[in-house]
């Protein structure tokens, strides 16, 4: 299996409402930045893997609407209806198995354009439960109650992560700067679905992310210090209603697969970029991946994570982007000292059903 590197990353500005651009134009912002970062053109790319969700884009087979901007005419293009980090894993496989040399991976979403409760509601099983009208917040509220009741984490633990994310947004130029907030303010905010408050859910955003992957040969030609994809893993757990929210076996499986491919042994990575749309889940996922919650805003989600403001579908790929910036030493005011190894995590599905992990490193 060939070695695969990330040689270019790009993101649009993620904001509440990107009314200034149609979604193909939104994606183009990220693609242009990733190509410029890699120092190549779209013609140098031999395949594309895109991530998008039809219900958010408001058209079926929505990837066809971005075929021109991802340059996939007469090239192999595949699309996943999941988080963009899943597209990264797919794009990695295409190059690792020797079939392709340079790949474009993208994710885009505009949460501002549809009715989120209706879209989320369409994810429920149509036969028995859907007509009760739940949405992702209700599922998360049920889960948060079980997690807090178990004593594993408290609402204060979760609120501290929200506070850190909002503070980090001020030093992340790709997200909208959020008003700073205290733990008490997060805890006292209006409730969404108890025990969750309105700030426990990551803010709704429009945005895009793009990445260029390459073989070792191409990567060494383009860069003196490529970021290597050292390991990948993904797993899907049981449907949310059949699974206790403390059951993180899918996350475990994804992490173990990714780490087993690396030469890291039991060493702890230098940074973790972890996805969770709800703050109690971030407590769970970050801890299970090996991060310290007290490091939030530093070695845990220096970018601010999903709560600093990314759309669904894009969050996981944004986590990878931050890891690349950190490992290259190009993270500006957020830069960590001597980051060599990173774990990026993504999640998809009601009640966090599917998990994705990418292990990234720099060095020979």
Partner 1 sequence: MDRGCHPEGVGAVSPTPPIDSSLRLEYVADFEYSYAAGEFASRFMNALRTQARIQGTRCEACSKVLVPPRPVCGLCLERTAEWVDVGPGGVITGYTVVEVPFIDPMTGIKRPIPYGFAFVRLDGADTNIYHFLEESRHDKISIGMRITAVFKPAPERDGTLADIIHFRAEEPAADD
Would you tell me which residues interact with partner 1 (CB under 8 A)? 18-26, 28, 41-43, 55, 58, 67-69, 71, 73-74, 110, 112-115, 118-119, 121-122, 126-127, 130-131
**Cα 172 from Cα 170, distance rounded (Å):** 6
Nearer to partner 1, 55 or 92 (CB): 55
The distance of closest approach from Cβ of residue 294 to partner 1 in the complex, given in angstroms and rounded to an integer, is 40
Q: How many Å apart are CA 273 and CA 130, to the nearest integer? A: 33
Residue number with CB closer to partner 1 (59 or 191): 59
What distances in angstroms separate CA 353 from CA 50, 145, 204, 335, one per listed residue? 20, 18, 20, 32
255 within 8 A of 241, measured Cβ to Cβ: no
* Nearest-approach distance from CB 130 to partner 1, in angstroms: 7
Nearest in space to 358 (alpha carbons), one of 136, 60, 67, 93? 93
User: What span, in angstroms and rounded, lies between the C-alpha atoms of 354 and 346?
Assistant: 8
In the bound state with partner 1, the residue whose beta carbon lies nearer, of 12 and 262, is 12
Q: How far is the CB of 22 from partner 1 (least distance, A)?
A: 3
Residue 114 Cβ vs partner 1, minimum distance, rounded to whole Å: 5
In the complex, the smallest distance separating the C-beta of residue 58 from partner 1, rounded to whole angstroms, is 4
CB of 172 vs partner 1, minimal distance in Å: 23
Residue 332 Rama label (left phi>0; alpha psi -120 to 50; beta):
left
Residue closer to partner 1, measured from CB, 25 or 185: 25
Of residues 234 and 313, the one with the C-beta less far from partner 1: 313
Report in angstroms how near the CB of residue 122 gets to partner 1 at its nearest.
Answer: 7
113 vs 185 by CB, closer to partner 1: 113
Sign of the C-alpha dihedral computed for residues 250, 83, 67 and 32 taken in this order = negative
Q: Which of 288, 3, 308, 53 is nearest to 164 (CA)?
A: 308
The structure tokens listed for 234 are 């993904």
The CA-based angle 153-321-79, given to 5 degrees, is 95
Burial of 107 (0-12, 13-18, 19+ CB in 10 A): buried
CB of 56 or CB of 228, closer to partner 1 = 56
């Amino acid at each position: 299996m060939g070695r695969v590197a990330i040689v270019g990353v790009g993101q649009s500005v993620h904001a509440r409402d990107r009314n200034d651009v149609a979604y193909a134009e939104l994606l183009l912002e990220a693609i242009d930045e990733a190509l410029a970062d890699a120092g190549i053109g779209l013609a140098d790319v031999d395949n594309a893997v895109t991530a998008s969700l039809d219900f958010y884009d408001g058209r079926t087979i929505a990837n066809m609407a971005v075929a021109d901007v991802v340059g996939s005419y007469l090239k192999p293009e595949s699309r996943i209806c999941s988080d963009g980090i899943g597209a990264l894993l797919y794009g990695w496989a295409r190059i690792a198995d020797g079939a392709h040399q340079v790949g474009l991976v993208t994710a885009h979403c505009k949460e501002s354009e549809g009715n989120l409760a209706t879209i989320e509601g369409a994810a429920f099983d149509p036969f028995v439960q859907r007509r009760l009208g739940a949405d992702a917040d209700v599922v998360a509220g049920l889960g948060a109650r079980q997690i807090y009741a178990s004593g594993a984490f408290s609402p204060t633990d979760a609120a501290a992560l929200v506070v850190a994310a909002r503070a980090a947004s001020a030093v992340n130029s790709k997200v909208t700067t959020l008003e700073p907030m205290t733990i008490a303010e997060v805890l006292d905010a209006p409730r969404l679905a108890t025990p969750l408050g309105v700030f426990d859910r990551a803010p709704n955003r429009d945005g895009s992310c793009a990445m260029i992957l390459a073989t070792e040969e191409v990567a060494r030609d383009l860069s003196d210090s490529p970021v290597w994809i050292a390991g990948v893993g993904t797993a899907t757990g049981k449907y949310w209603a059949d699974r206790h929210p403390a059951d993180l076996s899918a996350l475990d499986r994804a992490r173990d697969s990714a780490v087993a491919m690396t030469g890291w042994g039991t060493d702890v990575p230098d940074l973790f970029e972890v996805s969770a749309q709800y703050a109690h889940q971030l407590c769970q996922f970050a801890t299970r991946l090996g991060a310290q919650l007290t490091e939030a805003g530093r070695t845990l989600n220096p970018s601010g994570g999903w709560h600093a403001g990314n759309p669904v579908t894009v969050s996981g790929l944004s986590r990878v982007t931050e890891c690349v910036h950190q490992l290259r030493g190009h993270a500006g005011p957020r830069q960590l000292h001597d980051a060599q190894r990173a774990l990026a995590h993504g999640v998809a599905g009601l009640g966090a059903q599917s998990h994705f992990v990418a292990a990234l490193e720099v060095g020979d």
